[in-house]
Every structure is written in structure tokens, then in C-alpha cells.
Amino acid sequence: MHFELTEEQQMLQKMVREFGEKEVAPGAAARDENEEFARGLYDAMGDLGLTGLCFPEQYGGADGDYLSYIVAVEELSRFDDSVGITLATSVSLCQWPILAYGTEAQKQKYLIPLVAGKTLGAFGLTEPNAGTDAAAQQTVAVDNGDHYLLNGSKIFITNGGEAETYVIFAMTDRAKGVKGITAFLLEKGMPGFTFGKKEHKLGIRGSITMELIFQDVKVPQANRLGQEGEGFKIAMSTLDGGRIGVAAQALGIAQAAFDHAVKYAKERTQFGKPIAANQAVAFMLADMATKVEAARYLVYRAAFLKDQGRPFAKEAAMAKMYASDVAMAVTTDAVQIFGGYGYSREYPVERLLRNAKITQIYEGTNQVQRIVIASALLR
């Protein structure tokens, strides 16, 4: 087993880190304070090729591996994880299912501009009473011959309102339960497709999260993604890959918090010496570093397995669960090391702590990940 990134992956890592330092980091605090979505940063990521890293050349991608994309999400999330999750949502949750299940016409129309970063993607599964319980969703699509008539709503949709392309799930046959769910491709601006409440969140405030509302939306038959009744399968396979993206986001947050804590502990003096010289602080830093490295290996292994075409659902759940728990633990310890300053917005660790919490919640809470892991172990 190789424990080093390839030369090409290291070059990508360096490029994204430089982009993060120069373009992402300077405005991160202001975007958080003002709840500002920076579409210009996403456009810049498209220009750098980050939106197409792991997609085939025939659709405008770099024909690279999934691990390279995960490294990019990790690096972006070190500087502003709102930017990291914007990329991860479009790539993992919108672009990938179109590549995996879309027709050639759908790929030409929707995937190519997404891969180029000219359009932004989103994924709509969650409803007020249908989060983990996908079969409880109320959004319905009725087959009307040349089109489906879509009615319902979705909540907590990352990139909602800003995205041009949406992968949406609806019931086409309620009697069949999860086998009655079908996936569709919707475009911003379709008549009857509007946006409701914008969420004002604890963290990732530079990432836009909105409600989607569907009122008699005519969705052409050509916009059905996959076969009727395949929606649940499409959603679950998409979320498997999406969990690695969330794990990478959590990893970036944890790494950033650790880096800030080390720097501060070496600079902050008490009783005539840096606080890092105190064994209690030094031991905290040692534990933090170990957790971050352990999380990194889980995240990278899950991406490696996906690249190899091997089963990875269990490993993706492990990576998401562990990395997000590590992000919470490491950011909490970082605030502790900063003391009163850590609780102040003068330093970034309080923002990292707020942002870390969401990684334990979305793409399925960590209790859901434990179910996925246990089911795989006991199958």
C-alpha cells in the first residue's frame, strides 16, 4: 500500500492550496459574517479545472481520479469549507449521478457545462418529513404522457437558488415504497419551480441553503434520470460517494483548526514561556495531530476504493463518521487552546467549530453511518 500522493496529486494539492491562500482565505470571515455566497469563487474553480477533475475528457473533464478531487475538497475546506461543500455538492451529488445514470443527450446538455464550471449543480432528496426515511417523501411526479407533472417541496438544499441544474427525487408510485421513487433533472427557471425559505445557519454561512418548491412543474420525459422506480438506488449510490466528499470537508476543517492551534500555542506566552511548553497543551496537540492523520487515511482509502471500482459504501460511511467526529473534537480543543480568544470572532477557530458540526449531520447523521457500517459487517 502506498501512503504518499502521486507527483500529479501533490502538484494539484499545491495549486489548490495556493488558490485557497490567495483567493479563498482573505474573504472567509466576511462571507461568514454576511452569509454571502461567492459565485465568483466557484467560477474561478471552474477555470482551474476543479469542477471536472474526476470526469472523462469526452465531457470536458481532466480524466483524473476521485482521490485528486477529494484532495481538492480537503484543501479548499482548510480555508473556507463553505467553498469546499459548494464544489462537493455539485460534483458528487449532481454531476456524478448524471455521468452514472444519464443518457448521452442528458450528458451533452447538462453534464458538459457542469464539468466546465459554467453551471452549478444541486441535489434534492430531503423533505420536512423525509430525511433518512426516503419513502416518506411527499413530492409526487405524475406521468402525463410527454411530461411528468411535479408537485411538492425540498428543504435544506445546498446550492439551492444558485444552482442551474438539480437532481430531484419524487414518488411516481407510492404503493411501491422506495421502489416507487424516480429521479429527474430540473432546470432553474422552469415554470412552477421556485425557491422558498433561505436557511440562516449556525455554520457554513457562506454556503447557500434553500427550500425548493414545485407547483405543477412540467418535467419532460427526456429529463427523467434513469428508469422509473430507480430513484432510490440512484440516491443511495450517489450518497455513498457524497459521504467521502463530506469526510474530506471535515478533514480540511480539522487540519485548519490544528494548524491554527499549533501556531497560537507557539506564539502565546504565559508565565514567561510559550503555552506549547506546557505538557497539558503539548499532549492536546499530540492527540489532535493523531486524530487528523487517522481520519486522513480513512478518507483517502475510501476514495482509493472508489477509484479501483471496488465496494466502498462501508468505508465511505466510516470515513464520514470518523472524520466529522474528529473535526468536532479537534475544533473544540483548538478553541480550548486559544482560551478566551478562541471564543472570539477575532480568530478563526470559533468559525471552524461552528462549521464542523454540520459534517456530523448531512449526508446522513453519524447514527445513520453506524447503521450502514453495522449492516455491512453483519450482512
DSSP 360: T
Nine cell digits for residue 239: 450518497
Q: Please classify residue 262 by burial: count the beta carbons closer than 10 Å to its beta carbon, then call 0-12 exposed, 13-18 middle and 19+ buried.
A: middle
Please give the single-letter amino acid code of residue 233.
K
Helix (H) or strand (E) holding 258: helix 231-267
The 10 Å Cβ neighbour count of residue 280 is: 8
In 3D, which of 73, 76, 82, 74 has the Cα closest to residue 23? 76
In 3D, which of 76, 51, 75 has the Cα closest to residue 62? 51
Cβ-Cβ contacts under 8 Å for 123 (sequence gap 6 or more)? 89, 93, 94, 97, 157, 158, 166, 167, 238, 242
CA distance 332 to 262: 14
CA distance 302 to 300: 5
CA distance 251 to 293: 9
Check if the beta carbon of residue 94 is closer than 8 Å to that of residue 165: yes
Pairing of strands 121-124, 181-187: unpaired
**Residue with cell string 458540526:** 357
Separation of CA 78 from chain center? 14
Cβ-Cβ contacts under 8 Å for 15 (sequence gap 6 or more)? 48
Please state whether 233 falls in left (phi above 0), alpha (psi between -120 and 50) or beta.
Answer: alpha
**Catalytic positions, please?**
363
Nine cell digits for residue 215: 407547483
In 3D, which of 199, 203, 156 has the Cα closest to residue 327? 203
In 3D, which of 93, 12, 45, 85 has the Cα closest to residue 327? 85
